[in-house]
Each structure stands twice: as C-alpha cells, then as structure tokens.
Amino acid sequence: MGSNETTAPTNFIRHIIDADIAAGKNGGRVATRFPPEPNGYLHIGHAKSICLNFGLARDYQGTCNLRFDDTNPHKENQEFVSAIQDDVRWLGFGWGDKVYYASDYFDQLYRFAVELIEKGLAYVCDLSAEETRAYRGTLTEPGRESPYRSRSVAENLDLFQRMRAGEFPDGARVLRARIDMASPNINLRDPTLYRIRHGVVHHQTGAEWCIYPMYDFTHPISDALEGITHSICTLEFEDHRPLYDWVLDNISVPCHPQQIEFSRLNLQFAVMSKRKLTQLVDEGFVEGWNDPRMPTIAGMRRRGYPPAAVREFCDRIGITKADNTVEMSLLENTVRDDLNVHAPRRMAVLHPLKVVIENYPEGQAEELPAANHPQDPALGERSIPFCREIYIDAEDFREEAPAKFKRLVAGGEVRLRYAYVIRCDQVIKNAQGEVIELRCSYDPDTLGVNPEGRKIKGVIHWVSAQHGAEAEVRLYDRLFSVANPDGAAAKEGKDYKEFINPDSLRTLTACMLEPALAGAQSGELFQFEREGYFCLDPAQGAGGKPIWNRTVTLRDSWTKIEQQGG
RNA sequence: UGGGGCGUCGCCAAGUGGUAAGGCAACGGGUUUUGAUCCCGUCAUACCCAGGUUCGAGUCCUGGCGCCCCAGCCA
C-alpha cells in the first residue's frame, strides 16, 4: 500500500484490504463510500468514518464516493445535503465533480425488486404495521408466515406495479423479501423492502415516487452499482450483513462488495445520536447545529478546531470493533498540538483591572516589538503600544500572595510581557472593598533585560488602555456535566438533558484586546497568551463588538498547584 | 432462555505461538519574559476468569463471567 504523505495507522480493515490485494481480489482495486443520510448534521463520529473511508481511498490509490442515503424523504432535506458537503470538504476530502445519491438508483432498484418478485423471492404483503410486528415473533420465538406470503408471481407483479402507480394509501401494503420467518436473525424474517409514502416531496426526486425502498435493500445494491469493494459501516449493522449478502446473491448485479463493520465513536461529556443532537437544536438548548459546544463538524469548525487536528484525532483513536469511549482530553490535546505550532500569539485581557503607571509620562506612548511565536521566528512580529494606563487581568493580582503565586501582589514586582517590570505601590478599592485600580511604577531599565540583584519570577500579559480594542469573549466548557450523559440518565431514571452543564457557556462582554487583533478576519485563530486559543466568530456581539470563541484552554498546571494549597 | 459482536495500563490502542509498541492522562525533574511550549525520567512479571495443549500462549482448545447490538412500513 502506502503513499508518500499522510498514511493513517494500520488497523484490522487495512489488514483485510492488504489480504484482498495480495489475493488479487477486485483486481487490486479499492473503492469505498461514505453514505450519510441527510437527516441532520455530521458529528465527530461521522468524521471518524469519513477519515476511514476517504483515508483508505487516499492510501490505496482508490476511490471514495460521497453518497447520500436518501431513501426516507420524510426526515431528509436539502439543507442537510448541503451542510454535509460543506463539512466533508472542510475536513479536507473531495469527490471530484460527482456526488452520488441512492435516489439516483430508484429506477434500477424498482427493476431489481421486480426481479426478486419474478424469482418468487419477494411478495406484496397487506398486513398492517402492527400485524407485521406481531407476526415477526420475538427474540426467542420464531415468527409466523404472513397469509399473503404465497401470492402468485403475477399477482405480486400487478400489486407492486399498482403500489408504484399510487393506487394504495400509506401503510396499506409493503413489498417484503421472502426469506425465513423462523430465522434466529430477526433481520431475515421477511424484511420490508418497499413502503408507500404519499405526499412527501423528495429533495432530489420531487413527487416522482410514492414508494420508497428501505435501507437494507437500497444499500447493497447502491454499493454494487458503484463497484464498491469494501462497504464499511458501524457495528449495529453486523446483524444485517446476511441480508446485505442475500440481496446481492439473488439479483443480477455486477459485483458483490464486502461489508465490514467497526465500532462507533463515543466521546466523554457528549451525546452522539442524531436524534439527541436534533433535540438539542430544536428545543433551544444550543444555538444551532454549529454551536461551538456541539460535537458536530460544523460546531468544531466554529469553535476553531483545525480540520487537520480533527483528522489527527481520528488517526489517534484508531479503528477496532471494541466498544470505546474516548476522553475529551485526547481531543483537546490534539487541537492544542496543532494550534501550538500554527497559531500566532497575541495578548488579551479577559477581566480588565486598570493599572496606572505613575512614573510613566502622561501623554507618552511607545511601540514595543513582540514575537508572533516564541519558537517560530518565521511567523514574524508585531508591535504593541505601551503607555501610562494599561489593563491587566484581575486574576493576575492578589493583595496577599498565596505560596507559589508569582504574579502581581501589593508591594511586589512582576514582568509585563514584552515590556517592563512594574511594582504595585497602591491598591485602590471602591466602597464595597473591591479592588478597582492599581497604582504602580515601572523600572525603565528592564526593557528586554532582567534587573540586577533581584529575581522577577512572574510574567503577566496586559493591554494598553488607550489603544486596546473592546471585545466579547465566549468561554466554552463541556456541554454536559457528567462524562456519560446517556449512562447517567439511564441509571438515575432521568432525561439526558438534565445533565446539561449550566456553565457550558460563559460570556465576557468587556474584554480588552491588543490593537493588532482589530483587523482579524472571521475564523482567524490566535493564542491569547496565558489564556488559551481563540477564534473570531462570524457574528458580532452587542454594540458591534467582535466575538471571540475560546477554542481550547492552554494546559494549566497552576490551578492544580493552587488547589493543593500551594 | 434466540441471534450477532466485544473483553490488553485510568482512556484509546499495537500485538497474527517466541517471551507486552505507541498516544492521551498521571507523576517526578530540567529549560523558559506564556505557571504554555520544549526536554528528560517513571508508569501492565502482565493481557476478563479457570482449566488444558505446547519447550514456550495475550495469541490455540474447553468451560465460565462481564459488556454492547437486534423484535422501524428508520438508517
């Protein structure tokens, strides 16, 4: 196998493909597909599948089709079709100029159904949905055969044609495969192949059809028609594989793709089912599918996760058949690894506390050079204005210093990043006793050099009060307050939504940014030194202020020290 | 009690009979004008359990145990 660049780590599916190639199967060809149903936005679990399928095509010089599994118009729409394409492209994968739709095969699917009927392998069944369920039996008892199971081929052909012609109402009849009502595998107990759906406009085929094929019938045929070699899906379809093979074994298709199943991704502090994500959106628990707290691809994009980091994450988690729940720290660390290398550094004060440097001349200002990246000179530098009044973060000042606290304390000194060492001479408080301003003095001999005879242990960030730009900053935390919302809900007999973290979004409306941030473009990412990585949101906040989303925090060893009573 | 899967470090995960990779987390230490980054070190006599085969088993066999999925005219 192999290619020059990014080759994903090996896994059991690659072993299968390697063996197939060695055996000369499919003429050594590898063709996969990513088959989303356009009934919602893609999430990080889909990203895992996308990276797997498109990654296989990339590494084996094969192909991967983007194919919409659009057989249930009731739940699907064009907005989702478009969003899915945006998301796959954003992740970094392409598909030439052809997007595939299962609905492109509706005519052929119909003819294959007729073929099955002609072979006596499918029949029109008049049982209601409830009756069908009752006839199906249970997990431990076999089902009973439908009274319509022995209709003649001619009658079945006539009825199926009339189903298509719209002669029967919804639910009146279905087309079923005639397999085995006693099979221990419930999927083989004469599964439904076609159902009647009047009055829904399909986003691709409009009102052309009033019967729609089921997944189990559509999927294997779509794969075969596209010459897919390896049809990769998640574990819950393992029980469907005998049906997948049955369909292909009994109709005249050009090839028989191999279905392979892997386990889906579970992520701590998140829910991953489309039903639940849809609910969070529809019921207003989040601002939309692209809310930065959502585990959707659109949400991660808005949050500022680089696509390369998401791809790297998918490589790091691997592909197996074992149930798994990945820790959020793995995702966050993957994002940090990418951002640390690529994000230019800036200074921003989130909780401004005014500092007046009394021995700095009023009306004076100077431009101080600052590296855009401390380890990568190629990113260049910008200059930062310094003057008599600045803001520092309220968290960087304490009247009394806890042990190991190395920021500014009353009477103490601290280094202003890329500027001077200052000393806090006086603390000004309001009537409530809250610190509202600091009067300091600076040491003019400390620009770029350490003072003689004393060690300055702390460095803090700051922004010029005169030159800084105001901004809104949104701090995101995990959407759920427990690692496993579904598990907690089941255990405590509650709804998973009761575990939504009330502090998953904290909005700071009076932040101060260094001037270099003023011209940033929507989507641009920076590290706000000592705070984290932030991404400019496309929207504007109150008063037209820019909104900066916190992508991820920096790793923080201080809070731990502080909590240990340090 | 039917069928299909899965069980290797806190979380992922290599391993394909020859004597337990790697990543994340954690914990020590060093560098540092980001308590960041970076660097160094520690971290499974042990692979769900019990027997067995073998010179040798996480890998093979037998029997248990645990967890996940399946009874949509959803995908």
Pairing mode, strands A266-267 and A325-326: parallel
Task: Retrieve residue A449's tokens.
Answer: 């050099």
Q: A135 and A20 share a domain?
A: yes
Residue A62 lies in a domain: yes
Q: Which backbone phi and psi does A333 adopt, to 5 degrees?
A: -70, -35
Q: What percentage of chain A carries pLDDT values higher than 70?
A: 99
Rounded Cα distance, A122 and A505, in Å = 54
Task: Fill in the amino acid letter for A8.
Answer: A
Please state the rounded mean pLDDT for residues A286-313: 98
Q: A111 and A195 share a domain?
A: yes
- Cβ contact A321 with chain B strand, < 7 A: yes
Residue A324 near residue A64, CB atoms below 8 Å: no
Residue A187 near residue A243, CB atoms below 8 Å: yes
Cα angle A380, A386, A392; round to 5: 100
pLDDT score at A1 = 36
pLDDT at A403 over 90: no
pLDDT score at A6 = 62
Please state the rounded mean pLDDT for residues A344-367: 98
- Cβ contact A491 with chain B strand, < 7 A: no
pLDDT at A5 over 80: no
- Cβ contact A555 with chain B strand, < 7 A: yes
Q: How confident is the model at residue A3 (pLDDT cuts 50, 70, 90)?
A: very low
Name A476's bridge partners. A505
The last residue of one of the domains, among A467, A502, A517, is A467
In 10 A of CB A334, how many CB atoms?
A: 23
Q: A446 and A520 share a domain?
A: no
pLDDT at A453 over 90: no
Q: Burial code of A199-237, b = ≥16 C-beta within 10 A, e = fewer?
A: ebebbbbeeebbbbbbbbbbbbbbbbbbebbbbbbeeeb
- Cβ contact A144 with chain B strand, < 7 A: no
pLDDT digits (tens, 9 = 90+) for A55-96: 999 999 999 999 999 999 999 999 999 999 999 999 999 998
- Cβ contact A415 with chain B strand, < 7 A: yes
Q: A297 and A149 share a domain?
A: no
pLDDT digits (tens, 9 = 90+) for A238-279: 999 999 999 999 999 999 999 999 999 999 999 999 999 999
Task: Retrieve residue A375's tokens.
Answer: 């380890």
pLDDT digits (tens, 9 = 90+) for A492-545: 889 999 999 999 999 999 999 999 999 999 999 999 999 999 999 999 998 999
The mean pLDDT value of chain A amounts to 96
Pairing mode, strands A258-262 and A230-234: parallel
Cα angle A126, A124, A74; round to 5: 80
pLDDT score at A2 = 34
* Protein CA at A316 to nucleotide C1' at B22, angstroms: 10
Residue matched to tokens 């729609």: A212
Contacts with A191 (C-beta within 8 Å, 6 or more apart), sequence order: A176, A177, A179, A214, A216, A243
Domain harbouring A337, CATH code: 2.40.240.10
- Cβ contact A458 with chain B strand, < 7 A: yes
In 10 A of CB A45, how many CB atoms?
A: 18
Tell which strand B nucleotides have any atom below 7 Å from a protein Cβ.
1-8, 10-16, 22-25, 27, 33-38, 67-75
Measure CA A434 to chain center: 42
User: What's the domain count of chain A?
Assistant: 3
Q: A210 and A122 share a domain?
A: yes
Task: Fill in the amino acid letter for A467.
Answer: H
Rounded Cα distance, A104 and A85, in Å = 17
Please give residues of chain A from 55 to 84 whose alpha-adjacent beta carbon (CB) lies under 7 Å from any atom of strand B. 69, 71-72, 75
Residue A6 lies in a domain: no
* Sheet bearing A352-357, strands edge to edge: A459-460, A413-416, A421-429, A435-443, A352-357, A389-393, A462-464
Residue A4 lies in a domain: no
- Cβ contact A526 with chain B strand, < 7 A: no
Q: How confident is the model at residue A491 (pLDDT cuts 50, 70, 90)?
A: confident
Domain extent for A23? 12-267
The last residue of one of the domains, among A234, A249, A267, is A267
In 10 A of CB A372, how many CB atoms?
A: 18
Rounded Cα distance, A481 and A271, in Å = 12
Least confident of A2-6, A347-351, A549-553: A2-6
Task: Retrieve residue A61's tokens.
Answer: 């010089």
Q: Which residues of A are catalytic?
A: 37, 264, 274
Residue A128 near residue A171, CB atoms below 8 Å: yes
Question: Could you tell me the pTM of the whole model?
Answer: 0.97
Query: Which of the nucleotides lies closest to A236 (Cα–C1')?
Result: B69
Pairing mode, strands A421-429 and A435-443: antiparallel
Q: A372 and A324 share a domain?
A: no
Please give residues of chain A from 246 to 285 whose alpha-adjacent beta carbon (CB) lies under 7 Å from any atom of strand B. 263
Contacts with A34 (C-beta within 8 Å, 6 or more apart), sequence order: A49, A50, A53, A54, A64, A65, A66, A67, A88
Name A352's bridge partners. A393
Q: Nearest residue to B75 (CA, C1')? A: A215
Q: What percentage of chain A carries pLDDT values higher than 90?
A: 95
Q: A535 and A462 share a domain?
A: no
pLDDT score at A391 = 98
Query: Which of the nucleotides lies closest to A39 (Cα–C1')?
Result: B75
Q: A141 and A245 share a domain?
A: yes
The last residue of one of the domains, among A209, A232, A267, is A267
Please state the rounded mean pLDDT for residues A387-397: 98
Query: Which of the nucleotides lies closest to A405 (Cα–C1')?
Result: B35
